[in-house]
Chain A
Amino acid sequence: MLTYTFRRLLTAIPTLIFISLIIFLLLDMAPGDPTAQLPLTIPPEVREQIRQSLGLGEPVHIRYLLWLKQMVWSEPVYYLSQSVDWISAPDEARLISWQTRAPVMDTILERLPQTLMVVGLAYVVGVLIALPIGIISAYKQYSVFDQAGTFVSMIGFSIPPFFSGVLMIILFTVMMPNDSFWWFPSIYDTTLVIDSWENFGKQVRQMVLPVMVLALQTTAQISRFMRASMLDNLNQDYVRTARAKGMTESVVVLKHVLRNSMIPVVTVIALGIPAIFGGAIITEQIFKVNGIGQLLIVSIQASDVPMVQTLTFIFAILIVFFNLIADILYGILDPRIRYD
């Protein structure tokens, strides 16, 4: 297993370099100009100087290699030098956002907690709701509960967050009386510092709406997976064997069926985790959560190439990494799969 992991990590390196090249070339070909949002009064020659100062004068392969060097060498060394005093900070300038003139990585690290808190919690909530729904739906297939679960999943699959999000705001913020317990804020306040129980309550309340909207989608997906996987296993012969042994129904379902059914579900859950870090572009916009998704969309609008490039590259790393995690989990959970 260990050799397998190392081999996979090694093969991930060329994969990631290739992905980053593709992203870089795509962004280079994309229309848009980083100086487009500057005032129109700036004369063209000054505008050209600004472009040169951003490094846009170099040919594309030089720019790519420079970015790559900063990304995989200068930035890690910088963060190492911050934490350990025997490494000195690198001489090169840090990777700077064209839009804010702030280091790209610092901005990303600032935005990450909000995203992880809201999107991550939504994922956890969604999975926790989805698993029991999937199990019961499969065990009582075609029952009223199963039909209701199927209906809710269908809604979760087919209604996009830009509709359900706005609907939630209308229901719980606009139409709900302000003093009601069921009133929730539609704007996420990032500046809120949790230093008292009161503020903690506020934090919980402002997270409710975005978490609900996102969890609906996760629930829809995972509960369908769970149900299908349970149904696959419920009809297996070894389940009949367990019943013939005289096991209680709870042992049959929870020990025999569920543990086998979890194998594909766990990998699906693992593969969904990179999407948490990617943030939820639309939902974050709707509820004004200034997380990663919101950062990405603003950077795209401003042609902030270093920021977009770095964000997408981080997503790529996470996706490759969690694919590996999912594969390893599969090997741990299913004794029939051995990697060495």
Chain B
Amino acid sequence: MFDDTKPATKLVEVNNLKMHFPIHSGLFRRHTGDVKAVDGVSFDIYQGETLGLVGESGCGKSTCGRAVLRLYDITDGSIVVDGDAIGDVRQKDLRTKRPTMQMVFQDPQASLNPRMTVQAIIQEPLDEHTNLTKAEKREKVLALMDQVGLNRKFSGRYPHAFSGGQRQRIGIARALALNPKFIVCDEPIAALDVSIQAQVVNLLEDLQREYGLTYLFISHDLSMVRHIATRVAVMYLGKIVELAPREELYAEPLHPYTKALLSAVPEPDPDLHDTMERTILTGDVPSPSNPPKGCNFCTRCPAVMDVCKQIEPEYREVMPGRFVACHHYNDVTTTAEQTAASEASDRQSLRNGA
């Protein structure tokens, strides 16, 4: 299942990650419940790959990305980045770890301090984490600006003087300043118009090739994820419902939600557009503070069964490299596990042989 080019080292391991935000209500602001934005998510990201994370608005994609970088204090679960468990480290002690893991934020306007020049924005991490001299820092900033395709002359300007695409480049240069290994891209292209989206995505790909970066690419744009991601994880209501290599996922989605999501992608061919069968989901996403019993998707699933409303489906590998959380695949499990086991051993022997 794994390509030969893909190194098998895991850079990021996320296990049963939970991020709950407390709800306080009533006269005494008592803790009455939780918004379960991310509720038991597990995935691994291999060195040098791009894991796409897709899902509709409000399903917890961004929260998941921020929680992985510990921009929140997570409720439960473990996170390992580059060999270090960071799940329960104090924020203060985490600062030295920050250079390895960076983030490109969604809103390029709001995520840059309006009172700092581009030079100051990109240089600030260098001030904090390195001992370079002033001239070296300046040179490094200018080199970074070259890399992301910004004119060096603009280093003294403020973020408001740039277009959206240029601002996102500043954000990328800022993230690259400390030579990170792992970058979370939180909808980096959502706020840009289409022609600029392609430029920014190409820039991200070039940088990945050049520095061997590992991305967690969060997006709601399925075609863009198909373009950039190595593997794709689909989130629904705080949980990953399906995780699979890109080609398999787009060719043959397993989970009913993934099927519905993919069938919602616009079809450019007018003939196909009229004849294609779409799975139209009805109803709204349930509230993450009060998710339904059983499977989270059971309220809207076109292929719902009785068991779905009672028992929460287990998230497991039903085919080699393909994880899904759905009762429809309960019976395939055994065979899949067998094939997975045999393929794994084949791979092992191949590797040993090589």
A-to-B contact residues, CB < 8 Å: 236-238, 240-249, 251, 256, 259-260, 333-336
Contact = CB atoms under 8 A, between A and B. Distances in A.
Contact of B128 (A236, A237, A246): A246
A333 B116 CA distance: 11
B71 to A, nearest CB: 6
A244 B98 contact: yes
Contacts of A242: 113, 124
5 contacts: A241-B111, A246-B97, A246-B129, A259-B115, A260-B113
Contacts of B98: 244-246
Contacts of A244: 69, 71, 98, 102-103, 105
B43 interface: no
Nearest to A260: B115
A238 B114 contact: yes
By Cβ-Cβ distance, the 5 closest A-B pairs, closest first, are A246-B98, A237-B110, A237-B111, A335-B158, A238-B113
A256 B113 contact: yes
B172 to A, nearest CB: 12
Contacts of B110: 236-238
A209 B97 CA distance: 53
Given A240-B105, A259-B115, 4 more contacts: A238-B111, A241-B113, A241-B174, A336-B160
B317 interface: no
Contact of A237 (B107, B129, B174): B107
For chain B, give the interface size range: 20 to 34
Contacts of B96: 246
Pick from B111, B112, B125, B171 the residue with the most CB of A within 10 Å: B111
A246 B97 CA distance: 8
Interface of B: 66, 69, 71, 91-92, 94-99, 102-103, 105-107, 110-115, 124-125, 128-129, 158, 160, 171, 174, 178
A171 to B, nearest CB: 35
Given A246-B128, A247-B124, A336-B160, A241 B105 contact: yes
Contact of B160 (A241, A247, A249, A335): A335
A313 B160 CA distance: 41
A83 B288 CA distance: 77
Nearest to A333: B115
Nearest to A336: B160
Contacts of A260: 113-115
Contacts of B107: 237
Contact of B125 (A245, A249, A333, A336): A245
Contacts of B99: 246
Contacts of A335: 114-115, 158, 160
A245 B71 CA distance: 11
A336 B158 contact: yes
A256 B111 CA distance: 12
A243 B174 CA distance: 13
A245 B113 contact: no
Given A247-B128, A335-B158, A241 B112 contact: yes
B113 to A, nearest CB: 4
Contacts of B112: 238, 241
A248 B115 contact: no
B71 A334 contact: no
Contacts of B114: 238, 260, 334-336
A331 to B, nearest CB: 13
A142 to B, nearest CB: 8
Contacts of B94: 246
B164 to A, nearest CB: 14
Contacts of B125: 245-246
A138 B69 CA distance: 25
A259 B107 CA distance: 21
Contacts of A334: 114-115
A241 B111 CA distance: 6
Given A240-B71, A240-B105, A335-B158, A245 B124 contact: yes
B311 to A, nearest CB: 38
Nearest to B106: A237
B235 to A, nearest CB: 21
A334 B114 CA distance: 8
A247 B178 CA distance: 13
